[in-house]
């Protein structure tokens, strides 16, 4: 049991600072150490931390952070392609770990991480914020209660803004991110598995880079990340799910829209509108009986992040796991399987074919 939680953070960029803003909302939590080789990022992170009882120690490397120790839990918010090396150092500690998605950028590294995490006593948590948006959580609760009857179809739409600028624009290349279908869409593949309650059997993705980053050049290289796609996933129990991704649609009213259809009803959730829409079957020609409610989110959670409050609620659950007061809700195996689905989608989009998950060993 740990009452006061000492947090270290590896990476001091945009997502790290979102974690910091949210961690500062929890009593009994101190950010005791940061590791990042980029001075500008460290300075911004320290400014975000502000005044606290304990001074935050600064390191250029995760190895130096581990050597000094003095933390109970660590958040990995460094670039995707660094996760393997960062975790190699952190697995030598007995600290709880929250690793931001994706777990790793390759299947080999993700398998390695899941294997190492399985042998640890301390909690290992993969950061899948979208599970923790309050409207999405209410949507999940309603489905689990059987509101739509037997679920048969699931569709997820994210129409959003392009990838944001990062230090060195590392996120412009699939070799650094794992590809858009891994980097961005592992969130949604994780949600698919959670909602359907089955494992994927086949993946078909049609996608390309058609609008964003076409005129950008980095040492003469053109970015190679998908900016729009349709992905269909067939699950082993016969149900199916679809992801509609567009990363040049920031003008849309809602960024995420999820719809589940069963044999009795249709249930939708719309974010950031927060609307939960229930549409029971009525029979042809009969009056519709659509019911709409809005799921509120605490103002402090909305203000502290850009994921509709999800970072706050995920950290709340993670801290409970660190203190021994709650379970790990997103395991390393969940992270591995989300990466595998994303990689299957990347292969499908490149090779214009259906990819069986058995090809990847699942």
Q: Check residue 3 and give its pLDDT.
A: 77
Class of domain 5-129: alpha beta
Assess contact for 151 and 262: CB atoms under 8 A: yes
Is pLDDT at 1 greater than 70 in this prediction?
no
Structure confidence by residue, pLDDT tens digits, 310-347: 999 999 999 999 999 999 999 999 999 999 999 999 99
Q: Check residue 2 and give its pLDDT.
A: 56
Q: What pTM value is reported for the model? A: 0.96
Summary mean pLDDT of the chain: 96
Domain extent listing, the chain: 5-129, 131-298+332-360
Structure confidence by residue, pLDDT tens digits, 123-161: 999 999 999 999 999 999 999 999 999 999 999 999 999
The tokens of 242 are what? 């679809």
Give the single-character DSSP code of 221: B
Structure confidence by residue, pLDDT tens digits, 28-65: 999 999 999 999 999 999 999 999 988 999 999 999 99
- Kindly state the average pLDDT of the residues 78-103: 98
* CA dist., res. 280 & res. 146, Å (int): 12
* CA dist., res. 268 & res. 249, Å (int): 20
Fold of 131-298+332-360: Dihydrodipicolinate Reductase; domain 2 (3.30.360)
């Amino acid at each position: 049991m740990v009452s006061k939680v000492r947090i270290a953070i590896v990476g001091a960029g945009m997502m790290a600072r979102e974690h910091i803003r949210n961690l500062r909302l929890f009593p009994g939590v101190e950010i005791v150490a940061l590791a990042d080789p980029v001075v500008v990022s460290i300075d911004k992170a320290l400014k975000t931390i502000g005044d606290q009882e304990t001074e935050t120690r600064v390191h250029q490397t995760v190895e130096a952070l581990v050597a000094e120790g003095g933390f109970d839990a660590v958040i990995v918010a460094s670039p995707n392609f660094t996760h393997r090396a960062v975790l190699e150092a952190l697995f030598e500690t007995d600290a709880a770990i929250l690793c931001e998605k994706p777990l790793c950028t390759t299947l080999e590294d993700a398998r390695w991480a899941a294997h190492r995490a399985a042998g640890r006593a301390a909690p290992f948590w993969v950061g899948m914020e979208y599970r923790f948006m309050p409207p999405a959580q209410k949507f999940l609760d309603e489905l689990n209660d059987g509101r739509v009857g037997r679920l048969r179809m699931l569709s997820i739409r994210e129409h959003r803004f392009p990838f944001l600028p990062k230090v060195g624009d590392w996120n412009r290349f699939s070799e650094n991110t794992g590809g858009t279908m891994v980097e961005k869409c592992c969130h949604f593949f994780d949600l698919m598995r959670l909602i359907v309650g089955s494992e994927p059997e086949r993946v078909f993705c049609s996608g390309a880079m058609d609008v964003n980053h076409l005129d950008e050049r980095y040492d003469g290289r053109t970015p190679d990340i998908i900016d729009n796609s349709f992905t269909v996933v067939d699950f082993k129990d016969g149900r199916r799910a679809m992801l509609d991704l567009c990363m040049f649609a920031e003008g849309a009213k809602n960024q995420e829209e999820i719809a589940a259809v069963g044999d009795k009803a249709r249930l939708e959730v719309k974010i950031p509108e927060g609307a939960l829409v229930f549409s029971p079957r009525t029979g042809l020609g009969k009056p519709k009986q659509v019911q709409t409610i809005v799921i509120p989110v605490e103002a402090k959670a909305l203000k502290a992040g850009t994921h509709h409050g999800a970072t706050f609620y995920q950290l709340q659950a993670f801290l409970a796991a660190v203190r021994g007061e709650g379970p790990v809700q997103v395991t390393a195996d969940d992270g591995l399987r989300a990466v595998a689905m994303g990689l299957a989608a990347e292969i499908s989009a490149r090779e214009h074919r259906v990819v069986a998950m058995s090809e990847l060993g699942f």
